Amino acid sequence: MTRALLLENPHSNADAAFARAGIEVVRHRGALDENDLIDALDGIDILGIRSKTEVTAKVLEARPDLLAIGTFAIGTNQIDLEAATNKGVAVFNAPYSNTRSVVELAVGEIISLSRRLSVQDKALHQGIWEKSAIGSHEVRGRTLGIIGFGNIGMQLSVVAEALGMRVVFYDTAEKLVIGNARRMNSLEELLEVADVVSIHVDGRAENKNFFGEKQFAMMKPGAIFLNLSRGFVVDVDALAARLKSGQIAGAGVDVFPTEPRSNGDSFESVLTGLDNVILTPHVGGSTEEAQRAIGLFVSEKLVSYFRKGDTDMSVNMPQINGSPAHSSRYRIAWVHSNMPGALAKVNQVFAESGANIDAQQLATQGQVGYMVTDIASNIPQDAVRTLSESELTIRLRVLSRD
């Protein structure tokens, strides 16, 4: 029986997708540390996680039978992708499913901080009536600076323009300009003009401490700062100092360098208690709509890989997508070292076994190759055995249409 372990409580519609494929689901509400995860993966073929569970090289080494990992989130920095690739473990994520939810939270915080709603709300809850326009601004006509112009940054740009904001952005990669947004040549150039700065960079290691004292000092006096990307990207001590000095008028922070592992755990930060600061517990993508879409998307990708060997939108494996031909009886999925002559060698093996090949697809990515071969005849056991024993083989699976 194929089994999937789902941690951190992804949406329940993932269970239905697995059930349709005959995959038993084992659920655990919270995250697991390294040793507990190794124990929990005993007899597990597919692992589903969110953002708290880390899948290390040690975990992958200890559980060589693990077939695939799905992260029910955007990021994959909690997974050792190099180790997963070297073990032939396909990794899938949900790069688009919660984009709108994050954008709407960013827009809501931009408006709230610009109008000082959090300050006024706290005052009234304390029984203090203080009606004033000082420090309160419309967002129309103000400049939003977006750092990281990926899926979220682009959609935020579109919505911000609809509110009448001017948009500038900075990204180290070449990006398509959307609407009237203007690309800035440097981060410094963006910080000089932005009334609101919103960070949307990915979780790669080189982005650690990307935004600190130097960058905060370059921001316009009275600007607003948002971080809804990764906690380790921003120096929160430097942010707190600038908020206390008044140079930064407000901040919205959804992610933190250190976060509690489970609901109900205590939370501490230098940002708590500061005026005009909105703190949220990593809920940028946590809407019912987003979690429903993520649960369905990731589970279907995992099922498609399990049943057909499809790697479409895998973050670490060469991309192959397509159902076997109607006449095919078996599909041989071969993850191998990307070496010259690999295709010739495998086809020689199939030819010598007399296999009737319907179709064949090969894709490579870096040091790894992935080939699927559709067989119309009986499965050539000698060919499978030869491939399994090949020094090129990382992982070999035989998939049946039955």
Q: What residue type is assigned to position 196 of the chain?
A: V
259 is catalytic: yes
Q: Measuring CA to CA, which residue among 108, 111, 160, 159 is closest to residue 136?
A: 111
213 is catalytic: no
How many CA atoms does the CB half-sphere of 100 hold within 13 Å? 8
Annotated catalytic residue within 3, 259, 397, 401: 259
Annotated catalytic residue within 282, 300, 331, 336: 282
Gap between the Cα atoms of 169 and 359, Å rounded: 45
Gap between the Cα atoms of 160 and 147, Å rounded: 14
Gap between the Cα atoms of 393 and 197, Å rounded: 48
- DSSP letters of 323-352? PPPTT--EEEEEEEE--TTHHHHHHHHHHH
Cβ contact 227:209 at 8 Å: no
Cβ contact 46:24 at 8 Å: no
Strands 46-49 and 368-375, sheet pairing: unpaired
Q: Give, rounded to a whole angstrom, the gap between the first and last alpha carbons of the chain.
A: 15
What are φ and ψ of residue 276, in 5° steps?
55, 40
Strands 182-183 and 46-49, sheet pairing: unpaired
- Other C-beta atoms within 10 Å of 281: how many? 12
Annotated catalytic residue within 100, 137, 142, 230: 230
What are φ and ψ of residue 49, in 5° steps?
-135, 175
- Other C-beta atoms within 10 Å of 133: how many? 8
Gap between the Cα atoms of 32 and 55, Å rounded: 10
- DSSP letters of 40-100? HTTT-SEEEE-SS--B-HHHHHH-TT--EEEESSS--TTB-HHHHHHTT-EEE--SSTTHH
Gap between the Cα atoms of 50 and 72, Å rounded: 5
Sheet of 223-227, strand order: 182-183, 166-170, 143-147, 196-199, 223-227, 248-253, 277-279
Q: Which residues belong to the active site?
A: 230, 259, 282
